[in-house]
Structure 1
Amino acid sequence: MHPRVILSVGNFFFSIFSALVTFSLLPYLSSIMPAAYAGFVVAGSALCATIIFPFLPQLVGRYGAQYITLILAFSEMLVLLALAINPGVVTAVLLMAITIAVQPFLSYQFDVLLEATIADTNTTGRVRTLFRTAWSVADLAAPLLLGALLADSDSYGRVFIAAAAVLIPIVVLFSGRRLPRGPAPKLFSIHGTLVHIIRHRDLAAVTFANFLLYLFIVWMPLYTPVYLHTVLGISWSNLGWMFALMLIPYAIIEYPAGWIADRYLGDKELMFAGFLIAGGATVALSFLTPETSLGVIVVILVVSRVGAALMESMIEAHFFRRINKRDIDSVSIFRGVWPLSYIIGPIIGSVILIYADYQLFFLLTGGFIALAGGITTLFIKDFR
């Protein structure tokens, strides 16, 4: 099996795992502690991940991304199985914190391995978006599975068992063949890498755009399920198919967007449109009521993901056009905004919910994504 196929298939199962955990994360924590304060738990675990993240390039250089991926995947399986047996509150919070922290580490290993298989920068957009499409297709199945698991009760232990099970194919695939390791990474100090990115306007802009994207990715999957289920009273059985429809744009837009960017428009224009669409749809969520039809809600959710798919595919493609296999520390900083967004995003969410409600939360966060994202793209230098 070709290494890119192995990585794309592995990314497919990683997507299911990630979606199951992310969609059930805040509802699960809210079942064992006050909902408004659950975000602080997420932020605390992400802080630990942020502290560890700068050491990943050294670990990859010494042990290889493939070996580290196997260790992380197996560790996640053990943690999820421990969560499934209904531990005490303190233990459950600690285990969930580990689950949150490990996800960006796994994503980083996939990035390093995939980059080692790309020789021609002219194909970066297509290879990257194909890799992302595998993730997005799996995302369609995960909400349906989640809805089925929680249809008759909020038995989150079932979700954790299912999430552990979908990691098994990753372990099998990565154990069966040695993947390209690429050149030995040329390591820079974290300070030096940050200075390099900040001085390079294009890299700084696309890295900040990635931070905004991850804020959106944190806010929407964490707070939308709780909002729709507890405030608007929509059942999990309905939320399952609604979220599946919501995620369709990821599967059908990202690869064509990458092709269009490679051949015609470039990354900047599509990225700009993505921020405006995603932010505007998020603002629209603040105007929903329990009487709003499911059809209208689905349309808003789908439109939000149209924008997110454009943002994600263009940010990924643009960043990886600007770096090479040896620039592994830049990848670390680029991916490092993932745990950083998991620190800032939930804290903002908790602060808003302590003093206000979900309607104001979606109004403020959506407006911020549209405005900040639009301004950021103006500083990006298109490759065309």
Structure 2
Amino acid sequence: MRQYAKHIRTRKKILVIFAILILYVLHSTIHIYIDSSYLATLIGESRVGLIFTLASLVTIGAIKLMPRMLRAIGNQRLALYLMGIQFASLSALATSPAPLLGIVLFIINFAAIALTTYTLDIFIQHYSEKGSIGKIRGFMLTMANVGWLFAPLIASFILTDGDYWKIYLTSFILLIPAFILVISYLGDFRDKVFKETPYLRSLRSLWRRKDLLGIYLISFLLNLFFTWMVIYTPLYLHGTIGFEWSEIGVMLSIMLLPFVLLEAPLGRLSDTGLGEKELLSAGFVIMAVATYFLVYLDSPNFLLWTLVLFVSRIGASTVEVMSETYFFKKFGDKDITTLGLFRTIRPFSYLIGPILAWPFFIYFDFKFLFVFLAFLMFYGLRFSLSLHDTK
């Protein structure tokens, strides 16, 4: 009976965390596809990647400090402080600050979002029951992607004539209910005594453990795909192809449907049926083929662009849920440094992505960025096929 009551309490906590996750993702992604366009108004398109690189360096440095911050104040209070930082930076961005201040505020907000996501990850893993990690991770990603799905659609209705301040103000408002839920329902969260491994030792361990290294590299390729798509696709669709923001918002929302429709079923499938290795490989093939096809789209054909982007996200959603599931089944969350390394992959991709993309602005046509990206996704098969299944 006591065990059943504990199970019910855990389920309630998971539902609250999922609600926080939807609200938080909606808040943090409503501006993600316009960030590059906003920064372009401050420093020009060719320098946008540099700002993302600087933001990523700050984020990676901050993530290295997370174990120390978690021990000092605990996960729940840290989440609240980080949300407070976002309230401050978003309210300032909504006032249309001077270029230099706008860049600094963007970097602060970028890092705070990544660190808050880290704290939400700890909440979710804490309440996840063994034997259902794939199911919970799949459902978690589905809930998060509900936010990703609606964010560009909402942004397209709000954004007119480049008034980006409205988007940042909306993001501020959306953070309020998530902040209230963290205060009201997670105040009794009991932090684990996390095992912290020295950073260099974790890197050496990563290199020796082939499955861990493989899933890190898979996650890096996936996040590099997301990085280029988030930074450069809106610029390309709006600036080169000629789509209006109202069209882009609808297109991106349809494009993201696979993340909502597929990740929960695929997470359950990984618990009971087909292994992560096979699904990861299939996902990379789909991503590579669809991304390569983008090179041949040079007119504002809404249906064709939407279809190809949609297919690419079928592959990306498969790789995303399988990489998350594989990591947490194999390695869990007890070593906070290993988890921290896993969560630096996204900012690291924002660090490397603009550097890799830079030559395509200088020496090649913009669209050949998609050719190189397709090649990298196909190369991901080398890592997915070398993994050992968790079963």
TM-score range, shorter chain: over 0.9
After TM superposition, the score normalised by the length of structure 2 is 0.94
Please tell me whether the aligned partners of residues 249 and 306 of structure 1 are also in contact (alpha carbons under 8 angstroms): yes
Counterparts of 1:13-52 in structure 2 under 5 Å? 13-52=23-62
1:165 positional shift: 1.2
1:277 aligns with: 286
Judged with a 3 Å threshold, the aligned counterparts in structure 2 of structure 1 residues 75 and 304 are, in CA distance, closer, same or farther, namely same
Question: Does 1:299 pair with 2:279?
Answer: no
Q: Which segment is superposed worse, 108-117 or 59-68?
A: 59-68
- Give, in whole Å, the separation in 2 of the partners of 1:179 and 1:367: 48
Deviations for 1:286-324, whole angstroms, at most 9, x for unmatched residues? 22112x521111100101111110010000000000123
Q: Which segment is superposed worse, 34-43 or 320-329?
A: 320-329
2:362 aligns with: 354
- 3-state SS of paired residue (1:357): coil
2:384 aligns with: 377
Task: Note the residue ranges of structure 2 that are not aligned, 5 or more in a row.
Answer: 1-8
- 3-state SS of paired residue (2:367): helix
- Give, in whole Å, the separation in 2 of the partners of 1:16 and 1:254: 18
Judged with a 3 Å threshold, the aligned counterparts in structure 2 of structure 1 residues 136 and 84 are, in CA distance, closer, same or farther, namely same
- 3-state SS of paired residue (1:298): helix
Out of 322, 344, 356, the residue aligned to residue 352 of structure 2 is 344
Question: Does 1:197 pair with 2:206?
Answer: yes
- Give, in whole Å, the separation in 1 of the partners of 2:56 and 2:149: 26
- Give, in whole Å, the separation in 2 of the partners of 1:171 and 1:67: 11
1:115 aligns with: 125
2:331 aligns with: 323
1:230 aligns with: 239
- Give, in whole Å, the separation in 2 of the partners of 1:321 and 1:288: 40
- Give, in whole Å, the separation in 2 of the partners of 1:147 and 1:237: 5
1:8 positional shift: 0.9
2:318 aligns with: 310
Please tell me whether the aligned partners of residues 23 and 178 of structure 2 are also in contact (alpha carbons under 8 angstroms): yes
Please tell me whether the aligned partners of residues 288 and 375 of structure 2 are also in contact (alpha carbons under 8 angstroms): yes
2:16 aligns with: 6
1:22 positional shift: 1.4
After TM superposition, the score normalised by the length of structure 1 is 0.96
CA RMSD of aligned residues (A): 1.4
Please tell me whether the aligned partners of residues 113 and 181 of structure 1 are also in contact (alpha carbons under 8 angstroms): no
Out of 152, 157, 160, the residue aligned to residue 165 of structure 2 is 157
Opposite residue 214 of structure 2, the aligned amino acid is A
Opposite residue 296 of structure 2, the aligned amino acid is F
Out of 269, 289, 295, the residue aligned to residue 286 of structure 1 is 295
- 3-state SS of paired residue (1:22): coil
- 3-state SS of paired residue (2:296): coil
- Give, in whole Å, the separation in 1 of the partners of 2:226 and 2:67: 25
Opposite residue 91 of structure 2, the aligned amino acid is L
Opposite residue 249 of structure 1, the aligned amino acid is P
- Give, in whole Å, the separation in 1 of the partners of 2:223 and 2:343: 10
Please tell me whether the aligned partners of residues 40 and 350 of structure 1 are also in contact (alpha carbons under 8 angstroms): no
Please tell me whether the aligned partners of residues 3 and 180 of structure 1 are also in contact (alpha carbons under 8 angstroms): no
Please tell me whether the aligned partners of residues 81 and 164 of structure 1 are also in contact (alpha carbons under 8 angstroms): yes
Counterparts of 1:162-201 in structure 2 under 5 Å? 162-177=170-185, 178-201=187-210
Out of 77, 83, 88, the residue aligned to residue 78 of structure 1 is 88
Counterparts of 1:233-272 in structure 2 under 5 Å? 233-272=242-281
- Give, in whole Å, the separation in 2 of the partners of 1:219 and 1:314: 21
Please tell me whether the aligned partners of residues 112 and 328 of structure 1 are also in contact (alpha carbons under 8 angstroms): no
- Give, in whole Å, the separation in 1 of the partners of 2:265 and 2:332: 24
- 3-state SS of paired residue (1:380): coil
- 3-state SS of paired residue (1:185): coil
Judged with a 3 Å threshold, the aligned counterparts in structure 2 of structure 1 residues 214 and 179 are, in CA distance, closer, same or farther, namely farther
- 3-state SS of paired residue (2:182): helix
Equivalenced residues, count: 380
Judged with a 3 Å threshold, the aligned counterparts in structure 2 of structure 1 residues 332 and 179 are, in CA distance, closer, same or farther, namely farther
1:182 positional shift: 4.5
1:164 positional shift: 1.2
Question: Does 1:98 pair with 2:108?
Answer: yes
Please tell me whether the aligned partners of residues 278 and 385 of structure 2 are also in contact (alpha carbons under 8 angstroms): no
- Give, in whole Å, the separation in 2 of the partners of 1:182 and 1:191: 25
Question: Does 1:126 pair with 2:116?
Answer: no
Opposite residue 373 of structure 2, the aligned amino acid is T
- Give, in whole Å, the separation in 2 of the partners of 1:308 and 1:179: 36
Task: Note the residue ranges of structure 1 that are not aligned, 5 or more in a row.
Answer: none
1:54 positional shift: 1.3
Q: Using the aligned pairs only, state the percent identity.
A: 28
